[in-house]
Amino acid sequence: MLAPPPPLEPAAPTILDIEASGFGRDSYPVEVGFVLPDGSSWCTLIRPEPDWQHWDPDAQALHHIPRALALRHGRSAAEVARLLNQRLRGSVAYCDGWAHDYPWLARLYDAAELTPSFRLEHLLCLLDEDQARRFDTLKQQVIAESGLQRHRASSDARMLQLTLRRLKPAPPRHR
């Protein structure tokens, strides 16, 4: 009896993105979103914790999330961490700004007193040298063609996933 063929890798992995209050040491996440390999997405605002006070107007100018909106409509760090753990358990999520996203995710989980049930990796580890060199140019093309204008977590995650899908198309299925 023949062994079943190995499962095909999805055309693109789970992509996670975080919008934050700024870029400095005291910055914190204000929105998190992800897109799964099947294209479904999830996004939520994060209510700043009482000791999360840093706010950079330049960051707000990028993502257009006023602090008052995050305070009014955001979910608690504990709720967001629990939801991420439920939805991403056992998986690897990839981001394009690991040096920023990892500390912001750590700050979220520290506030929630939880541990992530998934790993966060830089999406460049998925690319060979040539693909990494072409990524930013292709990303700009995808942005221009898709009309994605919102600089928000789930929109950014979708744009990154679309770029990866174009850069690394799924292998053909053999019948």
Q: Helix, strand or coil for residue 121?
A: strand
> What pLDDT is stored for residue 172 in this prediction?
52
d(CA 112, CA 76) in angstroms, rounded, equals 8
Tokens 């996203």 -> residue? 101
Strand order of the β-sheet with 14-20 is: 41-45, 29-35, 14-20, 92-95, 119-122
pLDDT per residue as tens digits for the range 60-95 = 999 999 999 999 999 999 999 999 999 999 999 999
| Cross-strand pairs, 109 | none
Average pLDDT over residues 133-138: 95
136 vs 169, residue with greater confidence: 136
Q: Residue 12 belongs to what H/E stretch?
A: none
Q: What angle do CA 5, 87, 151 make, to 5 degrees?
A: 105
Tokens in use for 122?
Answer: 């830089």
* H-state helical runs in 42-167: 57-63, 67-73, 77-88, 98-112, 129-146, 153-167
Tokens 């995650």 -> residue? 157
Task: Confirm if 50 and 74 have CB atoms less than 8 A apart.
Answer: no
Task: Confirm if 17 and 33 have CB atoms less than 8 A apart.
Answer: yes
Handedness of CA 112, 157, 72, 82 (dihedral sign): negative
> What pLDDT is stored for residue 170 in this prediction?
58
d(CA 41, CA 150) in angstroms, rounded, equals 15
Distances (CA, A) of 137 to 156, 163, 167: 15, 10, 11
> What pLDDT is stored for residue 147 in this prediction?
78
pLDDT at 6 over 60: no
7-11, 26-30, 117-121, 150-154: the lowest-pLDDT one: 7-11
